[in-house]
A and B are shown apart, each in its own frame.
Chain A
Protein backbone atom coordinates (compact mmCIF):
# COMPACT_ATOMS: atom_id res chain seq x y z
CA UNK A 1 0.00 0.00 0.00
CA UNK A 2 1.24 3.50 -0.84
CA UNK A 3 -0.84 4.98 2.00
CA UNK A 4 -1.51 8.69 1.53
CA UNK A 5 0.28 10.40 -1.34
CA UNK A 6 0.50 14.10 -2.08
CA UNK A 7 1.69 16.02 -5.11
CA UNK A 8 3.52 18.23 -5.68
CA UNK A 9 6.12 18.17 -2.91
CA UNK A 10 6.98 21.81 -3.39
CA UNK A 11 5.36 24.65 -5.31
CA UNK A 12 6.02 28.34 -5.83
CA UNK A 13 3.11 30.54 -6.90
CA UNK A 14 2.64 34.19 -7.63
CA UNK A 15 -0.12 36.12 -5.88
CA UNK A 16 -3.39 35.61 -7.69
CA UNK A 17 -2.50 32.32 -9.34
CA UNK A 18 -4.61 29.25 -8.77
CA UNK A 19 -3.52 25.67 -8.29
CA UNK A 20 -4.67 22.29 -7.08
CA UNK A 21 -2.90 20.21 -4.45
CA UNK A 22 -3.49 16.53 -5.05
CA UNK A 23 -4.13 13.91 -2.38
CA UNK A 24 -4.86 10.23 -2.84
CA UNK A 25 -5.17 7.26 -0.49
CA UNK A 26 -5.41 3.54 -1.16
CA UNK A 27 -6.69 2.39 2.23
CA UNK A 28 -10.39 2.73 1.37
CA UNK A 29 -10.85 5.32 4.10
CA UNK A 30 -14.08 7.26 4.10
CA UNK A 31 -12.71 10.27 5.96
CA UNK A 32 -10.15 12.60 4.41
CA UNK A 33 -8.96 16.01 5.51
CA UNK A 34 -6.63 18.86 4.69
CA UNK A 35 -4.53 20.70 7.27
CA UNK A 36 -2.12 23.55 7.03
CA UNK A 37 0.89 23.86 9.31
CA UNK A 38 2.44 27.22 10.08
CA UNK A 39 5.37 27.79 12.45
CA UNK A 40 4.22 27.74 16.07
CA UNK A 41 0.59 27.16 15.11
CA UNK A 42 0.35 23.39 14.96
CA UNK A 43 -2.03 21.96 12.39
CA UNK A 44 -5.25 23.71 11.49
CA UNK A 45 -8.09 21.95 9.72
CA UNK A 46 -9.03 23.50 6.37
CA UNK A 47 -11.68 21.16 4.92
CA UNK A 48 -12.71 17.59 5.46
CA UNK A 49 -14.84 14.94 3.84
CA UNK A 50 -16.73 12.05 5.44
CA UNK A 51 -17.25 10.27 2.12
CA UNK A 52 -17.54 10.70 -1.63
CA UNK A 53 -19.75 13.67 -2.45
CA UNK A 54 -19.69 15.07 1.11
CA UNK A 55 -17.39 17.87 2.24
CA UNK A 56 -17.43 20.40 5.06
CA UNK A 57 -15.42 23.32 6.35
CA UNK A 58 -12.84 23.17 9.08
CA UNK A 59 -11.26 25.98 11.10
CA UNK A 60 -9.64 27.94 8.25
CA UNK A 61 -11.57 27.30 4.98
CA UNK A 62 -11.41 30.74 3.37
CA UNK A 63 -9.53 30.83 0.07
CA UNK A 64 -9.72 27.07 -0.43
CA UNK A 65 -12.10 24.79 -2.26
CA UNK A 66 -12.50 21.00 -2.15
CA UNK A 67 -14.53 18.29 -3.80
CA UNK A 68 -14.69 14.53 -3.30
CA UNK A 69 -15.82 12.66 -6.39
CA UNK A 70 -14.17 9.34 -5.42
CA UNK A 71 -13.23 7.63 -2.16
CA UNK A 72 -9.55 7.74 -3.13
CA UNK A 73 -9.01 11.38 -4.10
CA UNK A 74 -9.45 14.64 -2.23
CA UNK A 75 -7.92 17.62 -4.09
CA UNK A 76 -7.50 21.03 -2.49
CA UNK A 77 -7.86 24.05 -4.74
CA UNK A 78 -6.43 27.47 -4.08
CA UNK A 79 -8.64 29.87 -5.97
CA UNK A 80 -6.44 32.99 -5.94
CA UNK A 81 -3.22 32.48 -4.01
CA UNK A 82 -2.18 35.00 -1.38
CA UNK A 83 1.10 35.28 0.59
CA UNK A 84 -0.85 34.35 3.74
CA UNK A 85 -1.36 30.90 2.20
CA UNK A 86 2.36 30.20 2.32
CA UNK A 87 2.45 27.09 4.46
CA UNK A 88 2.96 23.35 4.53
CA UNK A 89 -0.17 21.45 3.59
CA UNK A 90 -0.92 17.96 4.86
CA UNK A 91 -3.58 15.59 3.69
CA UNK A 92 -4.77 12.84 6.02
CA UNK A 93 -7.20 9.95 5.90
CA UNK A 94 -8.84 7.66 8.42
CA UNK A 95 -11.75 5.29 8.67
CA UNK A 96 -13.50 7.86 10.88
CA UNK A 97 -12.73 11.53 11.48
CA UNK A 98 -11.74 11.45 15.12
CA UNK A 99 -9.77 8.20 14.96
CA UNK A 100 -6.15 7.56 13.98
CA UNK A 101 -5.13 9.73 11.06
CA UNK A 102 -2.69 8.65 8.36
CA UNK A 103 -0.78 11.57 6.95
CA UNK A 104 0.79 12.25 3.59
CA UNK A 105 4.32 13.68 3.32
CA UNK A 106 3.10 17.24 2.80
CA UNK A 107 3.27 19.95 0.15
CA UNK A 108 5.36 23.04 0.81
CA UNK A 109 3.74 26.06 -0.81
CA UNK A 110 5.39 29.45 -1.21
CA UNK A 111 3.27 32.33 -2.49
CA UNK A 112 5.22 35.36 -3.63
Chain B
Protein backbone atom coordinates (compact mmCIF):
# COMPACT_ATOMS: atom_id res chain seq x y z
CA UNK B 1 0.00 0.00 0.00
CA UNK B 2 1.06 3.60 -0.51
CA UNK B 3 3.14 5.15 2.25
CA UNK B 4 1.81 8.63 1.61
CA UNK B 5 -1.86 9.42 1.04
CA UNK B 6 -2.96 12.86 -0.09
CA UNK B 7 -6.20 14.53 0.80
CA UNK B 8 -8.26 15.75 -0.95
CA UNK B 9 -7.91 13.80 -4.17
CA UNK B 10 -9.14 16.83 -6.11
CA UNK B 11 -9.46 20.50 -5.28
CA UNK B 12 -11.00 23.35 -7.28
CA UNK B 13 -10.49 26.95 -6.20
CA UNK B 14 -10.70 30.47 -7.60
CA UNK B 15 -7.58 32.34 -8.60
CA UNK B 16 -6.28 34.34 -5.64
CA UNK B 17 -7.52 31.87 -3.04
CA UNK B 18 -5.26 29.68 -0.95
CA UNK B 19 -4.98 25.96 -1.63
CA UNK B 20 -4.25 23.46 1.13
CA UNK B 21 -3.52 19.81 0.58
CA UNK B 22 -2.61 17.21 3.14
CA UNK B 23 -0.47 14.11 3.23
CA UNK B 24 -0.52 11.31 5.79
CA UNK B 25 2.04 8.55 6.07
CA UNK B 26 2.50 5.39 8.05
CA UNK B 27 6.10 4.76 9.06
CA UNK B 28 9.08 6.69 10.36
CA UNK B 29 10.58 9.09 7.84
CA UNK B 30 13.83 10.91 7.21
CA UNK B 31 12.14 13.63 5.14
CA UNK B 32 8.96 14.50 3.28
CA UNK B 33 8.90 16.12 -0.12
CA UNK B 34 6.31 17.72 -2.35
CA UNK B 35 6.36 17.53 -6.13
CA UNK B 36 4.26 19.11 -8.85
CA UNK B 37 3.26 17.48 -12.12
CA UNK B 38 1.75 19.42 -14.97
CA UNK B 39 -0.45 17.39 -17.29
CA UNK B 40 1.59 15.00 -19.41
CA UNK B 41 4.92 16.11 -17.94
CA UNK B 42 7.48 14.81 -15.48
CA UNK B 43 7.49 15.65 -11.79
CA UNK B 44 9.21 18.76 -10.50
CA UNK B 45 10.52 19.02 -6.96
CA UNK B 46 8.97 21.82 -4.91
CA UNK B 47 10.19 21.54 -1.34
CA UNK B 48 11.76 19.12 1.13
CA UNK B 49 11.22 19.17 4.89
CA UNK B 50 13.31 17.09 7.27
CA UNK B 51 11.84 15.04 10.10
CA UNK B 52 13.31 17.43 12.67
CA UNK B 53 11.71 20.49 11.03
CA UNK B 54 8.16 21.69 11.63
CA UNK B 55 7.66 24.32 8.96
CA UNK B 56 9.33 25.46 5.79
CA UNK B 57 8.64 28.22 3.27
CA UNK B 58 9.54 28.68 -0.37
CA UNK B 59 7.98 31.63 -2.18
CA UNK B 60 4.21 31.12 -2.05
CA UNK B 61 4.59 27.63 -0.65
CA UNK B 62 4.39 26.73 3.02
CA UNK B 63 4.89 23.17 4.23
CA UNK B 64 4.26 21.90 7.73
CA UNK B 65 5.21 18.56 9.20
CA UNK B 66 3.75 16.94 12.31
CA UNK B 67 5.66 13.73 12.97
CA UNK B 68 3.50 12.87 16.00
CA UNK B 69 0.45 12.73 13.70
CA UNK B 70 2.46 11.45 10.73
CA UNK B 71 1.06 14.18 8.53
CA UNK B 72 2.12 17.13 6.41
CA UNK B 73 0.32 19.93 4.66
CA UNK B 74 1.19 22.04 1.64
CA UNK B 75 -0.27 25.53 1.44
CA UNK B 76 -0.14 27.51 -1.79
CA UNK B 77 -1.02 31.13 -1.15
CA UNK B 78 -2.61 33.52 -3.66
CA UNK B 79 -3.03 30.77 -6.22
CA UNK B 80 -2.71 31.40 -9.94
CA UNK B 81 -4.12 29.56 -12.95
CA UNK B 82 -0.56 28.37 -13.63
CA UNK B 83 -0.66 26.45 -10.32
CA UNK B 84 -3.14 24.02 -11.90
CA UNK B 85 -1.39 20.66 -11.65
CA UNK B 86 -1.21 17.46 -9.64
CA UNK B 87 0.69 17.63 -6.37
CA UNK B 88 2.36 14.60 -4.82
CA UNK B 89 3.90 14.05 -1.45
CA UNK B 90 6.79 11.63 -1.18
CA UNK B 91 8.37 10.22 1.95
CA UNK B 92 12.05 9.55 2.31
CA UNK B 93 12.12 6.45 4.42
CA UNK B 94 14.05 6.29 7.66
CA UNK B 95 14.76 2.59 7.19
CA UNK B 96 15.93 2.57 3.56
CA UNK B 97 17.24 4.79 0.82
CA UNK B 98 13.96 4.96 -1.08
CA UNK B 99 11.38 7.60 -1.84
CA UNK B 100 7.74 6.48 -1.78
CA UNK B 101 5.06 8.57 -3.48
CA UNK B 102 1.42 9.11 -2.65
CA UNK B 103 -1.41 9.13 -5.16
CA UNK B 104 -1.61 12.90 -5.49
CA UNK B 105 -4.02 15.83 -5.29
CA UNK B 106 -5.34 17.33 -8.52
CA UNK B 107 -5.57 21.09 -8.15
CA UNK B 108 -7.61 23.23 -10.53
CA UNK B 109 -7.29 26.99 -10.20
CA UNK B 110 -10.10 28.75 -12.05
CA UNK B 111 -9.26 32.15 -13.60
Assign chain A's interface to a size class. 20 to 34
Chain B, interface SS category: strand
Give the distance in Å from the alpha carbon of A33 to the alpha carbon of B92 in the complex: 14
Residues 28-80 (chain B) with a chain A CB within 8 angstroms: 30-31, 33, 35, 41-45, 48
CB of B30 to closest CB in A, whole Å: 5
Encoded as 1 (CB less than 8 Å from any B CB) or 0, chain A from 72 to 112 comes to 00000000000000000010100011111111111000000
Assign chain B's interface to a size class. 20 to 34
CB <8 Å contact, B42 and A105: yes
CB of A52 to closest CB in B, whole Å: 16
List 7 A-B pairs, Cβ < 8 Å: A4-B42, A31-B97, A90-B42, A98-B31, A98-B93, A100-B45, A102-B45
Known: A40-B103, A43-B101, A99-B48. 10 other contacts (CB 8 A): A4-B42, A35-B101, A42-B101, A97-B92, A97-B96, A98-B93, A98-B97, A99-B92, A101-B45, A103-B44
